[in-house]
Structure 1
Amino acid sequence: MERMRGASVANRARALAMLALLLCVGALPAIARAQDKPLTAYFRETWTTRQGLPHNQVNAIAQTPDGYLWFGTWEGLVRYNGLEFHSFDRGNTPELKDNGVRSVRASADGALVIGTSRGGVTVKRGDHWRTWRVKDGLAQEEIMDAIFDRRGRLWVATENAGIDVVDGSRVDHFTTRNGLPSAVTYGLLLDRDGSVWAATARGLVHFLDGRLVVYAQASGLPPAPVFRVFQDAGGRLFVGTERGVYRRQGERFVLASALLPDDGVPSMARDGAGNLWVGSVNNGLLRLGKSGVETFTSLRGLPNNRVAALLVDREGSIWAGTNAGLLRLSDAPFSTYNGDHGLSDDYVRAVLESRDGSLWLGTSRGLNRWRGGRLEASYTAADGLPSDSVLSLLEDRDGSLLVGSYTAGVMRLRDGKLVAHYDNAHGMPGSNQVRALAQQADGTLWLGTNRGLVRMRDGAYTHFGVAQGLPREFIISLQVARDGSLWVGTANGAARIVDGRVQALDMRGMNGAQDVFDFHEDADGTLWFATDRGLLRYRGGRLQALGLAQGLPVDTLFAVVDDGIGSLWLTSNRGVMRVGRSEVEAVMDGRKPRLELDRFGEADGLASYQCNGGSGPSALRDRGGRIWIATAGGAAVVEPKALRAYKRTLPPVLVEQVLANDRDVQVQGRLELPAGTRKLEFHYASLTFQTPRFVRYRYQLQGVDRDWIERGNQRVAQYTNVAPGNYRFRVNASAPGLGHGWSPDVTTLEIGIAPRLWQRPWFLPLLLLFGVLALAGLYRWRLGHMRQRAADLEAVVAARTRDLREQTERLRESDREKSFLVDKLREQSEAFERQAREDALTGLGNRRSMDEELARAFEQAVQSGRPLSFALIDIDHFKRINDGYSHAAGDRALVEIARIMRNELGVLGTLARWGGEEFGVLFEGLALEEARRRCERLRWAVERLDCSGFAPGWKMTISGGVAERTGIAHYERLVSRADALLYEAKRAGRNRIFG
């Protein structure tokens, strides 16, 4: 369905409230788990000034019905859409009289109430701002908190002048003279019954039915200031005091829990699982639940132990504002265990489940034993191990543990004690770097080193290398098959050993795969290989490959694990993927063209996208069905059966900003734009805070675009040379990596552009009619004149002849003038045609011209078999130039970069402005590697650009993605591939070319 922006604010508020309810209902299974998941297993994300906050101290947090998060800091009000912070301060918002924002409250109707440290109270409704100060009746401009009640009255808690109630033009003051126990106030709460509570320095005040009820020490509260009043969804009232949290019980107050510390409490929140979150002054963040109290402090990643603000957002994430930054905690699908949980190191290389159910985690600095959800023991060189750099693990038939190391061969441990050591000094051939271990049914041990394979049987060693038939001596993985044979993965292919004989596997034609990192065998004997060029299937003596061309987002896979419920899990340097086994089989059997999969990363609880490979086992399924993965940030674990509970509905897309001819336009219903509007720019976002990087967008300007335009995670759409008329801008979102297709909720914006006088539909016919009448008049005058001349010339033959010659010359001149006019009209038509295909700012071809050129070149390349490559190049952080310097500086930057790239390319590539800060480059006759080198030269040229003339201090860089025609059926797929690589280059840190 489509949402019309012309709908009323009330309708939008109700729709957003319903969406929030649906999100909460969808999150119920996750809520049940959150009660049991320890805080240390929550996904954590922090922000400071380095990530865009204007100040590290976050005093207040609120979420408006449209989904935006708002933060109050000492350097202004901040709006967050999941990817970017937008600051409002005295510099860009005159209605804000002070940058020190102490409180931010969101009303049900979407209004935002902002209390400042010495600038009064400001209310934001849509794009309208209004501020109340002393001149408007307030007793003081030092504000601690402010809210609206159900009657629309504004309640204001001041620093030391009591409470003001603004009702239209009337302001009532409450101080110690008329009932307040103290003029020092800290916070306000609108009760569910419509009454108002106030926290003061000498107790709690309840404004009820026109009277004040004071709760102090006699009612059970401690003799201490009250900082915060909080009411949960069930109506229970909690009071944060200087000496802990108290709960209302009838007309008295009791300690919420004796387990909570005797500390100041400035913030509280209740999550969907029923846990009470408490922000303290000295003890960090606390969670009070059925299992007791858990504490999360700066030792675990909290920016600072003073938690001034707390909020549970509509997706269930917990936001904490501290003195040193902002924190978000969320119950993500993955939990990661690392040094924060006691592991000897975060860099985990191998994971192994032993027969007793414990888990062994091998890291770069020691061996760890994990049992019962906690670390049981760690073993390092300090405990007597010859080396604590672990590469491989295997449990022997006798119950001992074999540990392959980086430099010390193989260690045998029993009950944590070293009982045997196998290395070069003790006769073991090959190398002391042991990356893989395997044991056959008869007890034979196989050791995979970087200098060959070693068989250890009855105390004797046998070395296998290239001379014995292995494709390479760098051994990466080993697998004992069900038939007793041994599969060997090397850095140059795979081999099988049967009865001591090596049979190399021919992997030619498998996308160039060489490194075989892991094996998995099905019950029917089918083998799966995780390689540096995708996933391979070996069945019935035949190999088949699944790679980038079939939809895998990355080339190199480290491990393949069957979850036992129909899916394969693949690990990589760029996160974890889950793909249905039936999906893989369908693509490999040719029944489906491309793969669909779920992709997981840091936003899903992985402490690091980088999974580890080249050691093993690097991933496994334990007896409980959980998947464990070795990563560069710890050991990650996920429960596949519980994944469905983490899928949430994507919020609808909001159009955040519209620019017409580079000027901001207020979005209120249908946009009526003046004549001369030629450029439109739309900024939009789906306000999800847990997975914003996974959201993909598509848009369409009906009247210009024939179909949807998919632009990945880009949140800006630009159009130039837009003609007058009526248009409809449509945008919606998807998150394919999380299993979400395109949302049926389409955001729509109606637009009308008025024409100039000569662009109106009646102008051209009127002009043509005037021309016809003028020609007719001229013709009649001319005919009469000729007749008169004929009559006059009858008398004088000589004069008649002379005049006729003159007239003939004039007619010839007239014909020349007409020819001249026709030529002018043709030239003007050609100029208009060029403008339609040319970017006015840079003089380059525009996207339309590049589309036509790319379609032509692609078809010719397919017919001729010649190579063809295409690149998309984007200016890094371009918006910061516009915001930090000016749009004129941005235009100058575009012109300079276009000039540099055009000069650098010369005749070796066709350059066009693809849109905004994005450029497209067509390389005809160039293969991928040469095209990528050309783009690297462009990147170096741009990096050397002197920006002092238009953006002093700025260093210009670009990122790009280069794709080759080979294996692609249509030029639009070539563009999509280049766009995906551009996105990867951006995510990898910018200022780079991926291809």
Structure 2
Amino acid sequence: MGLVAFGLLALSCAWSVVPRPATAATQATQVQAPAPARPEKPISAFYRETWTTRQGLPHNQINAIAQTPDGYLWLGTWEGLVRYNGLEFHQFDRSNTPALKDNGVRSVRAAADGAVVIGTSRGGVAVKQGDRWRTWTRADGLAQDEILDAVLDRRGRLWAATESMGMSMLEGGRALQFNVANGRLPSDVVFSLLEDRDGSMWAATAAGLVHVVGDRAIRVGTLSGLPQAPVFRLLQTRAGVLLVGTERGVYRRDASSGRFERLSPRLPEDGVPSLTEDGAGHLWIGTINNGLFRLSGSGVEHFTSRRELPNNRVASLLADREGSVWVGTNAGLMRLSDAPFTTWNSEQGLTDDYVRAVAPAPDGGIWIGTGRGLNLWRDNAIVAGYTKAEGLPGDSILSLLQARDGSLLVGTYTDGVLRLRDGKVVARYDSADGMPGSNQIRALAEGDDGTVWIGTTRGLARLRGGQFREFGVAQGLPREFIIALHVARDGTLWVGTSNGVARIVNDEVVPLDADLVRGAQDVFDFHEDADGTMWLATDRGLLRYSQGRLRGLGLEHGLPVDTLFSILDDRRGYLWLTSNRGVLRIARAEAEAVLAGRRAQLTVDHFGEADGLVSSQCNGGSGPAAMRDGRGNLWIATARGAAAVDPGSLQSYRHGLPRVVVEQVLADGKPVHLDEVLRLPAGTRKLEFRFAALSFQMPRFLRYRYQLEGFDPGWVERGNLRSAQYTNLDPGSYRFHVNVSAPGLDQGWSSEVTSVAIEIAPQPWQRRGFIVAAILLGLACVYAIYLWRVGSLRRRAALLEDTVAERTRDLRLHAERLRESDLEKSVLLDRLGQQSEAFARMALEDALTGVGNRRSLDAELQLAFGRALRNRRPLCFALFDIDNFKQINDRYSHAAGDQALIAVAHALRDALDGAGMLARWGGEEFAVLFERVPLERARDICEAMRQAVERIDCSAYAPDWRLSVSAGIADRAGTLRIEDLVARADALLYEAKRGGRNRIAG
């Protein structure tokens, strides 16, 4: 292995020593002690998350990355400094931060005391310490304001590397310059700096490496083993090894001899602008042209833009305290993390990403059925693949069953059932061989006696002793589209169909009316408990059948989605449920409590792409779509591969709960400077606290609670909301407390509480002495006013008696005139009301078709979207377009086109039947808003609307023409803006058009 051996053998022990204390030079690369060891994963199996300007970055080039002790991530871009808390970006630039003299941030360093040191392109060095800023420029002693790197060392000295005038060191009022002119540097271009653990400073220059000891600069020449090339980046590992990134690759320094040697012959001789070391001691190398490399116990791995890296120029790297590696490139930011789920797909050798079924194989293997063949996983690798090229009649696999005789039964999409031994097809059962039903096989099951049950889309077939028997609607099944099969411990066969469930006992079909519970129809999976209790995954939630009774759990009990595909018991007290929107985990004890009425809501752990699922879309309708293997791992079929998770390893991904940081305090809507005690002026009535627990791997698991001591009687739990507001606060002393928990990872409330003391000064009139004096004065004034008022009333009474008679006469005459005027006004108001109603109807109604217009739908969509966000309810939006409408106008006239528009509008409206709001969107487009309607239901309604248009008879105005529509439907999930929802529906509409028209996409 050559020089790689330093990482794998010679230095593996040295790198395992206890990490040294953080210094200003090492804070950016030091991470917390790693969690318990897990099997090493390849980079391709890491979870990847990418940010660009589309996700809120001000610029796509990430010049520098640092993490401060409080957990914030800091990014240097050409458009300013960016702070990231795991959920949102906050930008600092010249427009909102006067201390930043230039938006071009070339370097960001985190000092040991929490200060952020920023080197800018033309504005010198800025240092942020809490809410306070300070700036150093040429006027303060810097050689120039074009800074490539800046470091605050442990003695508080500021070191600045400049673009063309060497290096400056500022200490107190002293400025020391290092440059070519004074003979201290070989080049005036200094790319980066590194403070050694012994307090000396290393400088990477365009003409090599320089070691500064005291005020003396020592050049490290080529005789030491370094190439004659510019040095870009420096890193000192936790074991004290100095790594040097040059224009010709990475070199390491031997501590005993002081000489340098190539880090690994497997690394390219490319420029290395970034280096970092993760918590496991692995080295990450960012290159100028060849992307990212990792040196680990597995050797050298390469990761490039071909595998989703935003760009092969890696300008910055950071291993954070949670173990994630942040990669800054010229085209965006990426986070790589070892997530709980590992997804196996075509990148690891799977024949196709679209996985339909998974089943256990002998010797600990896993069979994986995809849209393009059968695969065998074993020993952490895909070891075999079977497609048409290997003898399968077709590629699309729908169902799998490892038979008791050692063979594998494979249900296909069009070729019936195949029996395989040693990867060879030894038997085939299809309609040509007398198998009843269709050749589309969605479920397989086997009884204790070897009887094979075959679920097809046209009925159930039983294979026993080489003979088939058919079970269908005529035999009592609720429907012949079979989705799931399960042979219970007592020999009963449970059959899940697209219209309910039935049991087969001694060849007798016994229907079970699942529709009586929550309206469930599609039954996708079964799970049987040891006591015979049966759990059903359906399109309307999770059902439990026990002692002859069905009960269900759904959206109202806390499930985020109620179309469930599979049920797995991890034997650790949890049920895992798969869906189109990720994997859910619920505690079995909680589910039992809710079903028994002892508890109102479930606590649901929701796993998605942030947890390693390449796609949150789990597959169902064939099977097994999920399974538990012999080692306790759960396997799940998804649209982008086979995902696996070890439920017992979740704890190893659990990091200590992060401390909550109070990010901002607003007093009467204005930001307040954060101090140990917030002293607020008199009259302050409203306080708002914004806070966050800084975690980049588990922000979705975090839950917050807070208390304003002196106002709240106890803790206030607010779920994942990260702000607290108080109004009408009286003057006085308060103390705001906030802390965090992660119930999804079995972590209770943190023992560490973040607190902020507040003092609101009273107004002068709110002081006790002022209040007593004011009361006495007020009583005197009230008595004086009383005396004056009594006299005034007596004088006015006499005057009023004289005028009442005269005014009464005048009022009588005036009343008669008013009655006449009121009659005339009533007639006029009736006419105006009629006109107003007509105008209002014209404003919100399409004149041609009589349905709503776009203005009416826009207004309702705005309101409905807001309600859906607040209440976390479903909301769907669909766009319909009349296929080939222009040809109607061209062939039959625009008058015929108008009649076609009217007919389509009426057909859509009638089929919609009040389930949503229909409007003409423009031209031949119509839009439908579905509020509080799940996507699956909305898709069914849209399909009915499409079929209604197909039935339109247009022979009167367009002979020989058949109307049809295409549509795209999207739900609100994952969108925070109306525009994104409309854009998604529009994209799906065009997908339907490209797919051949007259169809629904979504």
Q: Do both share a fold (TM > 0.5)?
A: yes
Question: How far apart are 1:117 and its partner, in Å?
Answer: 2.1
Is 1:104–2:112 an aligned residue pair? no
Kept after mapping to 2: 8 A contact 1:961/1:985: no
Superposed CA deviations along residues 116-153 of structure 1, whole A, max 9, x for unmatched, are 22222222222222222233322222211110112211
Cα gap change, 1:100/1:681 in structure 2, threshold over 3 Å: closer, same or farther? same
Residues 69 and 934 of structure 1: is their aligned pair in 2 closer, same or farther, counting only changes over 3 Å? farther
Alignment of 1:551-566 (within 5 A): 551-566=558-573
Shift of 1:628: 0.7
- The correspondence of residues 766-781 of structure 1 with structure 2, limited to 5 A, is 766-774=773-781
> Closer, same or farther in 2 for the Cα pair 1:202/1:485, shift >3 Å?
same
Give the alignment of 1:387-786 within 5 angstroms. Answer: 387-507=394-514, 510-548=517-555, 550-585=557-592, 588=595, 594-596=601-603, 598-702=605-709, 705-758=712-765, 760=767, 763=770, 765-774=772-781
Q: Secondary structure of 2:705's partner?
A: strand
How well do the aligned residues superpose, as a CA RMSD in angstroms? 4.0
CA distance in 2, matches of 1:387, 1:480: 28
Aligned counterpart in structure 2 of residue 190 of structure 1, from 184, 189, 195: 195
Q: Which residue of 2 aligns with 1:39?
A: 43
1:940 and 1:330, CA in 2 relative to 1: closer, same or farther beyond 3 A?
farther
Q: Distance in 2 between matches of 1:325 and 1:97?
A: 24
Shift of 1:297: 1.5
2:32 alignment partner, SS class: helix
Contact 2:29–2:277 (8 Å) recurs in 1: no
Paired residue secondary structure (1:489)? strand
**CA distance change for structure 1 residues 28 and 582 in 2, over 3 Å: closer, same or farther?**
same
1:493: Cα distance to partner?
Answer: 2.7
Q: Per the alignment, in what secondary structure is the counterpart of residue 299 of structure 1?
A: helix
Note if contact 1:529-1:537 (Cα within 8 Å) is conserved in structure 2: yes
Conservation of the 8 A alpha-carbon contact between 2:394 and 2:415: yes
Cα distance change of structure 1 residues 782 and 271 upon mapping to structure 2, 3 Å threshold? closer
Which residue of 2 is the match for residue 851 of structure 1? none
1:714-748 Cα distance to aligned partner (Å, 9 max, x none):
32334455555544433333333332333333333
- Deviations 1:544-588 (CA, angstroms, capped at 9, x unpaired): 444455554442322222334444322223322334445545555
Give 3-state SS (helix, strand or coil) of 1:234's partner.
Answer: coil
SS in 1 for 2:564: coil
CA contact (8 A) 2:35 2:655 kept: no
Letter of the structure 2 residue corresponding to residue 236 of structure 1: V
Closer, same or farther: CA 446–918 of 1 in aligned 2, 3 Å = closer
Aligned residues: 822
Q: Which residue of 1 aligns with 2:53?
A: 49
Report the residue type matching 1:79 in the other structure.
Answer: R
Q: Does 1:208 align with 2:213?
A: yes
Residue matched to 1:874? none
Any idea what the Cα deviations from partners look like across 1:589-638, whole Å, max 9, x if unmatched? 66666544544222221222222221100111112221111122221111
Cα deviation, 1:473-524, whole Å, max 9, x if unaligned, reads 2211111223333221122332221232212234465444333211223444
Shift of 1:239: 1.3
C-alpha displacement of 1:206? 1.4
What is the match of residue 243 of structure 1?
Answer: 248
**Shift of residue 319, structure 1, vs aligned partner:** 0.8
Change (3 A) 1:435 1:958: closer
Any unmatched runs of 5+ in structure 1? 1-12, 787-802, 814-895, 906-910, 922-931, 945-956, 964-983
Q: Look up the equivalent residue of 2:128 and give its one-letter code.
A: K
The more displaced of 243-252 and 401-410 is 401-410
Is the 8 Å Cα contact of residues 599 and 738 (structure 1) preserved in structure 2?
Answer: no
Structure 2 gap segments, 5+ residues each: 1-20, 803-854, 874-911, 923-927, 935-970, 983-1002
Tell me by how many angstroms 1:105 deviates. Answer: 0.4
Of the candidates 356, 360, 365, which is equivalent to residue 353 of structure 1? 360
Which is worse superposed, 139-148 or 355-364?
A: 355-364
Q: 1:181 aligned to 163, 177, 186, which one?
A: 186
Change (3 A) 1:961 1:509: closer
Question: Could you tell me how far 1:60 is from its partner in structure 2?
Answer: 0.6
Match of 1:263 in 2: 270
Q: Which residue does the alignment assign to 1:824?
A: none
Instruction: Tell me how far apart the structure 1 counterparts of residues 348 and 777 of structure 2 sit (CA, whole Å).
Output: 87
Q: Is the CA contact (8 Å cut-off) linking 1:600 and 1:737 kept in structure 2?
A: no
TM value normalised by structure 2: 0.75
Find the aligned partners of 1:219 and 1:804 in 2 and give their Cα distance: 109
Aligned equivalents of 1:729, 1:780: Cα separation in 2: 51
Q: Is the 8 A contact 2:650 2:745 kept in 1?
A: no
Deviates more, 1:477-486 or 1:509-518: 509-518
Compared CA separation, residues 804 and 398, structure 1 to 2 (3 A): closer
Contact 1:556 1:572 in 2 (8 A): yes
253-262 or 114-123: which moved more? 253-262
* One-letter identity of the residue aligned with 1:202: A
Q: 1:383 to 1:652 in 2, by over 3 A?
A: same
Which residue number corresponds to residue 891 of structure 1?
A: none
SS in 1 for 2:776: helix
1 CA distance for matches of 2:777 and 2:609? 70
Q: Report the alpha carbon displacement of residue 768 of structure 1 after superposing the two structures with TM.
A: 3.3
**Amino acid aligned to 2:313:** R
Task: Give 1:125's aligned residue.
Answer: 129
Name the % identity.
61
Q: Is the 8 A contact 2:29 2:319 kept in 1?
A: no
Q: Is the 8 A contact 2:462 2:469 kept in 1?
A: yes
**Partner-residue secondary structure (3-state), 2:266:** coil
Distance in 1 of aligned mates of 2:56 and 2:270: 31
Maintained 8 Å contact 1:537/1:545: yes
Distance 1:587 1:808, change over 3 A: closer
Tell me the SS of whatever aligns to 1:24: coil
Distance 1:569 1:148, change over 3 A: same
Report how far residue 765 of structure 1 moved.
Answer: 4.3
Alignment of 1:958-977 (within 5 A): none
C-alpha distance 960-53 of structure 1, shift in aligned 2 (>3 A): farther
AA partner of residue 348 (structure 1): V
Query: Structure 1's 309 and 235: CA in aligned 2 closer, same or farther, altered over 3 A?
Result: same
> Relative to 1, partners in 2 of residues 1:274 and 1:72: Cα closer, same or farther, differing over 3 Å?
same
What is the CA–CA distance in structure 2 between the aligned matches of 1:257 and 1:668, rounded to whole Å? Answer: 50
The verdict on how the C-alpha distance between 1:264 and 1:580 changes in structure 2, with shifts beyond 3 A counting, is same
Code of the residue aligned with 1:490 in structure 2: it is T
Q: Which residue of 2 aligns with 1:947?
A: none
- Residues 453 and 473 in structure 1, CA contact (< 8 A), matched pair in contact too: yes
Give distance in 1, aligned partners of 2:721 and 2:646.
Answer: 32
Change (3 A) 1:81 1:605: same
Distance in 1 (alpha carbons) for counterparts of 2:140 and 2:668: 39
CA displacement 1:146-197 (0-9 Å, x = unmatched): 1011221111111222111112232211112323222221110111121111
Structure 1 Cα separation of the partners of residues 570 and 859 of structure 2: 52
Cα distance change, pair 602–805 in 1 and its aligned pair in 2 (3 A): closer
| Match for residue 139 of structure 1 among 132, 139, 143 | 143
More displaced 10-residue stretch of structure 1: 290-299 or 762-771: 762-771
Q: How has the CA–CA distance of structure 1 residues 933 and 330 changed in structure 2, closer, same or farther, with 3 Å as cutoff? A: farther
Distance in 1 between residues matched to 2:800 and 2:758, nearest whole Å: 51
Matched residues in 1 for 2:403 and 2:796: separation? 115
